[in-house]
Structure 1
Amino acid sequence: MDRRRILQGAAATAAAALLPASVRATAATAGDTDYPAAHWVPASASNYTVSNRPSAYPVQYVIIHVTQETFADAVAIFRNPAKQVSAHYVVRSADGYIDQCVREKDVAWHAGNWDYNTRSIGIEHEGYVDQPAYFTDAMYEKSALLTASVCDRYGIPKDRAHIIGHVQVPGSDHTDPGAHWDWVRYIRLVNLLGAS
């Protein structure tokens, strides 16, 4: 690559950084996702905090959630600026399709605890805690691949001390992912599917 093209690319990157987060998020494409199998569907810029993780905060946890909504409704909630909530990823029940709604460098508002928000990646799963039929093989497998990728990229141990449920977040009033989430199966899959 010649020097002129490098300088043009750097100038374009610098100019893009001056745009408001909402414009940058809307301009992003599927190729801009942190996880290649995800599809970029940005949350409203009103529903997360722009950051520069892991420089600003270490990423030490993956937090597993259940939406208590349909996949489409959960994504729509994250796109609604009045809702003040988001997660990095949403996994669909039927086939494990994944939308990324917040960049991993940014702080999604998913844990109900600022300290845990800053140090975690939040993954929502379509379904309801009292309806185990939502927890399909495809959902477990695609989510485990995603979690394994996150753990590999940030050096997060693939264990229950670091891959936790929303219910385990200090101060949480949530019960998800609930009694029907198969933690033994999930952690086994994360370890089988990861690079390390």
Structure 2
Amino acid sequence: RHINRIVIHITAGGSNINGTIRWFQDPASKVSAHYIVGQDGEVVQMVRDGDIAWHAHSANGDSIGIEHVARPRGGLSPNDPGLFPTQAQYCSSADLVRWLCYTYNVPIDRVHIQGHAEADTHTTHRGCPNAVWDWERYMHLVTATTPC
């Protein structure tokens, strides 16, 4: 399959990467992503790059999806302070995306590195990942000539 873009997501759930791993391993969830990046920067591959993951509806066929353990304020309850991306997450994710873009000849720009809500305009997850994601910071890391 031809990989034409990378789609960035946030999990909008708990703070532990293991909960997301379990969710994606459960066929009843009917969702998946190629990679998950934990708050500590740990990267776990869930779906082979050559296979289609179920993360962004119409964008599934030509993209690689990367989930980040993070959520906006009020995500779990009205008083939830949120769980924002960490420097370790941004760095690990940027290094992964740089490698994926190089490997699959995907241009390193915001046209080809998109948020979930940009890649799937019909999603009900309108704040994914923009509710917490710092695109300027992230793209600076992705375009860096050396790893974080």
The 8 Å contact of residues 145 and 193 in structure 1, kept in 2 or not, is answered as: no
Higher relative contact order (CA 8 A, sep 6+): 2
Q: Distance in 1 between matches of 2:57 and 2:144?
A: 30
Contact preservation (8 Å) 1:59, 1:119:
yes
Letter in 1 for 2:72: V
Note if contact 1:148-1:194 (Cα within 8 Å) is conserved in structure 2. no
Residue 56 of structure 2 is matched in structure 1 by 111
The amino acid of 2:141's aligned partner reads: L
Please tell me whether residue 65 in structure 1 is matched to residue 17 in structure 2. Answer: no
Task: Report the Cα distance in structure 1 between the residues aligned to 2:131 and 2:26, rounded to whole angstroms.
Answer: 30
Alpha-carbon contact 2:3-2:104 (below 8 Å) kept: yes
Q: Could you tell me whether the CA contact under 8 Å between 2:5 and 2:64 is conserved in 1?
A: yes
Letter of the 2:10 partner, please give it: V
For 1:133 and 1:127, the matched residues in 2 are separated by 5
Where do 5+ consecutive residues of structure 2 fail to align? 74-80
Find the partner of 2:121 among 166, 170, 175: 170
Q: Deviations over 1:59-118 (max 9, x none)?
A: 01100000012322111111111111100000001x2001100000000000022xx101
Q: RMSD across aligned C-alpha pairs, in angstroms?
A: 1.6
Q: Name structure 1 gaps, 5 residues minimum.
A: 1-52
Considering fraction of residues, name the structure with more helix: 1
- SS class of match (1:134): coil
TM-score calculated relative to the size of structure 2:
0.85
Contact (CA 8 Å) 2:72, 2:83: kept in 1 or not?
no
Whether the 8 Å contact between 1:109 and 1:117 is mirrored in structure 2 is yes
Indicate the SS of the match to 1:75: helix
1:81 lines up with 2:27 in the alignment: yes
Offset of residue 194 of structure 1: 6.7
Matching residue within 159, 184, 187 for 2:109: 159
Structure 2 residue aligned with 1:139, among 83, 89, 94? 89
**Counterpart Cα distance in 2 of 1:133 and 1:79:** 23
Q: Select which of 35, 46, 52 maps to 1:101.
A: 46
- In the alignment, what sits opposite 1:124? 67
Regions of 4+ moved over 3 Å:
none
Distance 2:87 2:54 in 1: 27
Tell me by how many angstroms 1:193 deviates: 4.6
Query: Which structure: larger Rg?
Result: 1
Q: Percent of counterpart pairs with the same letter?
A: 40
